[in-house]
Structure 1
């Protein structure tokens, strides 16, 4: 969420940020509402001071035997007006907060401009795509004989679900374990086991609500299924005032994730690329504002390292303004090469949200020097999407006979299994 005080001091910069997002300037409208609210607050303060003054006079007049009724009537009138103003202020605050909560984060200055993903800026590539002496197949054709079962899942749950059996299920588990071990032992993240159900406030804090309610699954009891552990990990500092010395905080979690894919009708209807239920290893950082840009580069490198250890070719791109997520200030997408599909596909999205989420959930820190508090900066990223990594391993390590070689980095997790074979 945006800071109305910052908008008051930087209206042109705020409008420029919205314009780059393809939105109309709004500072004048927001500041007009803010001015009305501030004016009424000034009147409220004046009335409060007058009420205190008159209240003191009442006792003095009574003590001297005078008629205090006019003063008492004035106090009653002041109280009535104060109640009116307090109601008006509460409504104005709620109105302003509602508008601010629906506005996306403004992009960083060096985010490339552009209307869609075709204008994203490639930052680097790693690895050479493998040359096959046969026509490489897509993951759903490779996976079916290995234990990837969409038909049984569809009978139970409908489309965009999968059941993994046997060796391919073990490979997915190995991927998650490998990622967690790498991030906790080498990258300094603390492993967290979080709930999969949250209340409205948690999703508001990370900006999935109110805008993206249709992309979520709501269940009885006022709960929502998490679309990513970003929600639960980031909200761990919601409503907290941290000591600066504790920063940065880095959390990782392996969770089930749930998305309705409401806006993806007709897209990726085959296979595991776009599922209603999927697994992901999430990376979240809580940092000092001065460190958030460097932390984004660090987080991106942590996610890239997973692909390097698995020897999976990838490219990293900076998202343009038209492709930037709602809460993001700057985002790096990592796209893995899928030979069966013949294209790069997103496997991780690492974002710096600045103070945008922290302001929504009131997450602050107390500086070591100086007074007061300030909002932390929050970052999130996939380290990686486990299902999509499974897809990438199947396609990049496939063999002509339908078997799949287990990457060296995963062999310690596979109980001696080095090749996935259709006849097993």
Structure 2
């Protein structure tokens, strides 16, 4: 969320940057008009309070001079001011709420290097800060060469009777799945492998966060108020709670309403959790298989840094997510999202897209974003710079999938499928699979 003082001081910069975001019509003049009304009310209130104080002194003087008529006249004026002040304060609160509401639905400003575009067709392949196509190709596993027509993941899973959409529909409706047997174990193995990798090699602290969160937490990571329809809510006494759409919500909010020391940064958190999304607005998309589910597992990474370190941390997080696919031998590409495809709270986003032979296309498996101080302002998350006596500064927040477990299961099934219907187990997962080298098949 933005500071209206910054917008007032940088109106042209704000307008130029916000115009790059898709379907955003707000301009600085709209916001400053609301703030002008708020300022006018504050001026009137201050003037009324000052006048009331001055009149109160004059009343004392009039009574000391035994001028009762003057005293009564002054008391009537004070009474009128006393009636105005509560009304003015209520008006001020209403305008402040209006301004906060207007600011809360404005997306973050994209960094200058983010490509301009309308949708995913305008995203640009990325090879690293100093990368070239040749060096990137060496790091990324090649596409598999299959001597038979590859199947999609659900064709493999249903044939093996380990992926059941019909029973899931009876239990919960569409966009749910029941995994059984070896396939259920393989998904569990993938999640454990990812979490172990990030905590033992990449320096993330494992966290088991609540799966239900309050509105304040959702506001902090910008799911509310704009994306309320994407959430599942339940009630708790007189208040409501939401099932987390991603572990980004509780992990990032671990530092809400706090002042950290610079020595504590960066903080890096990772969690393996279920995620719950209503998928509002996605009717008809990816209706077959496990690609777009209401409930899925994901390993999430969150970093909390200083402003000076956040860009480098973004590259680091991307490398952490890439390592997952490299260890699993899954071919992928990295895309820099354009302004029209980037998320609401991001300043810049990389998507990792894994190759799926069954679909003969790339599909997103991880999204890694740097948010600047956008979320920190919503959460009041700050830090105190070392050796400085200045006021605390807002931290920068970053988040990324490390990666989506269900989609990684899909990728393993499709890339390691064999003609007899079996699926080879990548070497990195075999310690988690009791030494099995393959599952399924005749």
Q: Same fold (TM over 0.5)?
A: yes
C-alpha separation in 2, matches of 1:75 and 1:371 = 42
Q: Are 1:140 and 2:140 counterparts?
A: no
CA deviation after TM superposition for structure 1 residue 293, in Å: 1.4
Q: What's the counterpart of residue 29 of structure 1? A: 30
Question: How do 1:199-278 and structure 2 match up within 5 A?
Answer: 199-221=214-236, 222-278=240-296
Secondary structure of the corresponding residue to residue 20 of structure 1: coil
C-alpha separation in 1, matches of 2:260 and 2:54 = 40
Q: Alignment length, in residue pairs?
A: 423
Q: What's the counterpart of residue 130 of structure 2? A: none
C-alpha separation in 2, matches of 1:146 and 1:284 = 36
Q: What's the counterpart of residue 2 of structure 1? A: 2
CA deviation after TM superposition for structure 1 residue 421, in Å: 2.0
CA deviation after TM superposition for structure 1 residue 72, in Å: 3.4
CA deviation after TM superposition for structure 1 residue 78, in Å: 2.5
CA deviation after TM superposition for structure 1 residue 62, in Å: 4.9
Cα deviation, 1:398-422, whole Å, max 9, x if unaligned, reads 1111111111111111112221123
Cα deviation, 1:22-67, whole Å, max 9, x if unaligned, reads 3335111111111121122123223333333444555565566664
Alignment partner of 1:183 out of 190, 198, 203 = 198
CA deviation after TM superposition for structure 1 residue 373, in Å: 2.0
Secondary structure of the corresponding residue to residue 350 of structure 2: strand
Segments of 5+ residues of structure 2 without an aligned counterpart are 128-135
Q: Are 1:114 and 2:128 counterparts?
A: no
Cα deviation, 1:119-173, whole Å, max 9, x if unaligned, reads 1010035221011111111111122206122121112112111111111111111
The 3 A distance-change label for structure 1 pair 146 and 290 is farther
> TM-score with structure 1 length normalisation?
0.95
C-alpha separation in 1, matches of 2:298 and 2:44 = 52
Cα deviation, 1:282-332, whole Å, max 9, x if unaligned, reads 111111122221111111111111111111111111000110111111100
CA deviation after TM superposition for structure 1 residue 366, in Å: 2.3
C-alpha separation in 2, matches of 1:367 and 1:56 = 47
C-alpha separation in 2, matches of 1:135 and 1:12 = 56
Q: Are 1:378 and 2:381 counterparts?
A: no
Q: What's the counterpart of residue 415 of structure 1? A: 434
Root-mean-square deviation (Å): 1.7
Query: Higher mean Cα deviation, 64-73 or 1-10?
Result: 64-73
C-alpha separation in 2, matches of 1:330 and 1:98 = 24
Q: What's the counterpart of residue 45 of structure 2? A: 44
C-alpha separation in 2, matches of 1:50 and 1:242 = 43
Secondary structure of the corresponding residue to residue 209 of structure 1: coil
> TM-score with structure 2 length normalisation?
0.91
Alignment partner of 1:88 out of 86, 91, 115 = 91
C-alpha separation in 2, matches of 1:298 and 1:65 = 79
Conservation of the 8 A alpha-carbon contact between 1:146 and 1:422: no
C-alpha separation in 1, matches of 2:440 and 2:395 = 49
Q: What's the counterpart of residue 101 of structure 1? A: 104
Cα deviation, 1:253-284, whole Å, max 9, x if unaligned, reads 11111111121111111111100100000111
Question: How do 1:317-336 and structure 2 match up within 5 A?
Answer: 317-336=335-354
CA deviation after TM superposition for structure 1 residue 5, in Å: 1.1
Q: Are 1:405 and 2:424 counterparts?
A: yes
Conservation of the 8 A alpha-carbon contact between 1:146 and 1:167: no
C-alpha separation in 2, matches of 1:188 and 1:306 = 15
Q: Are 1:300 and 2:318 counterparts?
A: yes
Alignment partner of 1:156 out of 151, 161, 171 = 171
